[in-house]
Amino acid sequence: MGYGKILSVEPGSLAEELELVPGDKIIEVNGMKLRDIIDLSFAFADEEIELLIEHADGEQELLAFDKDYDEELGAEFESAVFDGIRKCANNCYFCFVDQVAPGMRDTLNIKDDDYRLSFLYGNFVTMTNMVDSDFKRIKQYHLSPLFVSVQCTNPELRCQILRCKTAGNLMTQLDKLEEAQVEYHTQIVLCRDLNDGEELDRSIRDILARKPHALSMAIVPVGLTKFRQDRYPLKGFDKESALRVIEQVERYQKRERETTGRTFVYLGDEFYFLAGREVPPAEAYDGFPQLDNGIGLARNFMEEFSAARHQSKAKNWHYAQRQRLAVLTGTAVAPMFRGLADELAIDNLEVTIVPVPNNHFGTTVNVSGLLTAHDMKQALEALGKTFDGILIPESALRAGDNIFLDDVSLEDFKDWFPTRVETVGDGKDYFNALTQFANYQGVSGEAAAYMWQSNAAYTKRGGHKNE
């Protein structure tokens, strides 16, 4: 068991009324020791509470008080799990953590595989480190939906890919989730000539057969960096092989839409970029249930841009004087940023799209979220131009402290250039930055904290957290 260390207290909250302060530790609620904010949530649902607190000086205090059933504490915690993040038990062929450059920040080397973070924040779990007591707790608290890394449904192949002898128990574990009336989203990291082709057909069919508990399937291409040292020879996808995957999956998508009105099986954007195909329309993503997994990011970005454009009171945008903006992006999405800027055709606005080669991880890594500050700096300097403003992807920064993957702060990055540097998070941001750069302010980082929620927050929508 552990404790919940308070990071901040909301003004006017119950926590403030109890005179709790950052650094205080919540040890027990009504005699119950706490593993995570899930335990805290359900223990705190009583109306009569005894809260055991340990202050920063080590002194413990028992606070007894009455509260409404759904009254929230109003405290943020340093971590969602009080007893430590459960680590991954696998040694997957494609593990991205094993492909991170040496000497980078410690948080990039954490191999988490914790079903609690799956429920709370949508992290994908393989379930190979789970035991019966975990499934009993999932059933007790109805932790639904979860996000499951399937990779493949062939037991022998899954054991091989994950290098874990218990990985072949997946289908039995899914049975346990379904017996507990738990729903789940699934993911396949697709590796060329390994779990694609007939194996992919098998995996899709097996998961489709598990509806309605199975809510969706995301298929994303394996990511390979120049730092990968695993001896198993993995191959990335090229234009021809990406097109084969698209055509294979489209058969299932078409059948599902005809019979159920939903697509269910979704492909990562990179397949379409590699194949030179346009990403599907918004309706094909059914509300973007796996957006945080990168499924439909490009289409969602375009939809946000379009919505901002239609909502704008102005219909013709222009600048009185020439405005030169540089837009830094990953190489994969650069054409999308170019196309959106061209749609506006703003007078006196000169937009230079800067596709940034990822020299740090390797140029096969082409997404904006893995760009480093030094690679962006190098790409800009190579142009030999001056700009009135620079737009960079907010996804390349760690939330809370605005640090790039190579440990350069946003403020240090701004100091490198004698002009304004602003971040862009979504399509609306991009539209606003292009049309009114003088008044545009980039995305501000939010604290990396975990907000406690009352039991009612988990139950008022039928036990499901917001998808």
Does any domain span residue 395?
yes
Using the predicted structure, report yes or no on whether residue 322 has a pLDDT greater than 90. yes
Residues 152 and 207 in one domain: yes
Task: Name the strand (E) or helix (H) holding 121.
Answer: helix 115-121
Check whether residue 287 and residue 378 sit in a common domain: no
Query: What tokens appear for 404 in the block?
Result: 């790039």
- For residues 204 and 141, membership in a common domain is answered with yes
Pull the structure tokens for residue 320: 């009185």
User: How far does CA 370 lie from the centroid of its chain?
Assistant: 13
Tell me the DSSP string of 15-40. Answer: HHHTT--TT-EEEEETTEEBSBHHHH
Residues 383 and 350: beta-carbon distance below 8 Å: no
In sequence order, the 6+-apart residues with CB closer than 8 A to the CB of 439 are none
Pull the structure tokens for residue 431: 């539209």
Boundary residue ending a domain (257, 274, 295):
295
Q: How confident is the model at residue 364 (pLDDT cuts 50, 70, 90)?
A: confident
Residues 75, 44 contacting (CB under 8 angstroms): no
More confident: 462 or 131: 131
Looking at 77, 105, 132, the residue that finishes a domain is 77
**pLDDT number for residue 109:** 63
- DSSP lists the bridge partners of residue 301 as none
Residues 156 and 185 in one domain: yes
Are residues 244 and 227 located together in one domain of the fold?
yes
The reported pLDDT for the residue numbered 407 is 87
**Structure tokens belonging to residue 380:** 């800009």
CB atoms within 10 A of CB 4: 27
The stretch 20-34 carries a mean pLDDT of 94
Torsion angles phi and psi, residue 365, rounded to 5: -85, 110
Give the residue-averaged pLDDT of 242-259.
Answer: 98
pTM score, whole prediction: 0.88
Which one of 77, 110, 133 terminates a domain? Answer: 77
Q: Mean per-residue pLDDT for 180-195? A: 97
In a domain, residue 463? The reply is no
Any idea which of 27-31, 95-99, 113-117, 444-448 has the lowest mean pLDDT? 444-448
Cβ proximity of 321 and 302 under 8 Å:
no
In this structure, is residue 444 part of a structural domain?
A: no
User: Counting Cβ atoms within 10 Å, is residue 107 exposed (0-12), middle (13-18) or buried (19+)?
Assistant: exposed
6, 77 Cβ separation under 8 angstroms:
yes
Mean pLDDT of 382-400: 90
pLDDT at 127: 97
Average pLDDT over residues 408-420: 94
290 and 308 together in one domain:
no
What pLDDT score was predicted for residue 400? Answer: 61
Q: Domain for residue 452, yes or no?
A: no
Same domain, 69 and 129: no
In a domain, 381, yes or no: yes
Nearest-angstrom CA–CA distance, 64 and 51: 6
Distance of CA 73 to the CA centre of its chain: 27
Looking at residue 448, its pLDDT comes to 40
**The pair of three-digit structure tokens given for residue 205, joined into one six-digit string:** 């069919």
Distance CA 41, CA 36 (A): 9
For residue 464, being part of any structural domain is answered with: no
280-310 per-position pLDDT tens digit = 999 999 999 999 888 999 999 999 999 999 9
Residue-range definition of the domain harbouring residue 51: 4-77
Find the CATH number of the domain harbouring 53.
2.30.42.10
Beta strand spans in 191-291 (E): 214-221, 265-267
Domain shared by 137 and 269, yes or no: yes
CATH classification of the domain holding 239:
3.80.30
319 shares a domain with 255: no
Write the CATH number for 328: 3.40.50
Q: Are residues 127 and 150 in the same domain?
A: yes
Q: Is 448 inside any structural domain?
A: no
Q: What was the pLDDT predicted at 455?
A: 37
pLDDT score of 112 more than 50: yes
Specify whether the CB–CB gap between 179 and 189 falls below 8 A: no
Looking at the fold, whether 40 and 137 belong to one and the same domain comes out as no
How crowded is residue 235: how many other Cβ atoms within 10 Å of its Cβ?
Answer: 12
- Beta pairing partners, 65: 49
Average pLDDT score, the chain: 90
Same domain, yes or no, for 254 and 349?
no
Domain total for the chain?
3
The percent of residues in the chain predicted with pLDDT above 90, rounded, is: 76
Q: Work out the pLDDT band at 106, boundaries 50, 70, 90.
A: low
Residue 168 placed within a domain: yes
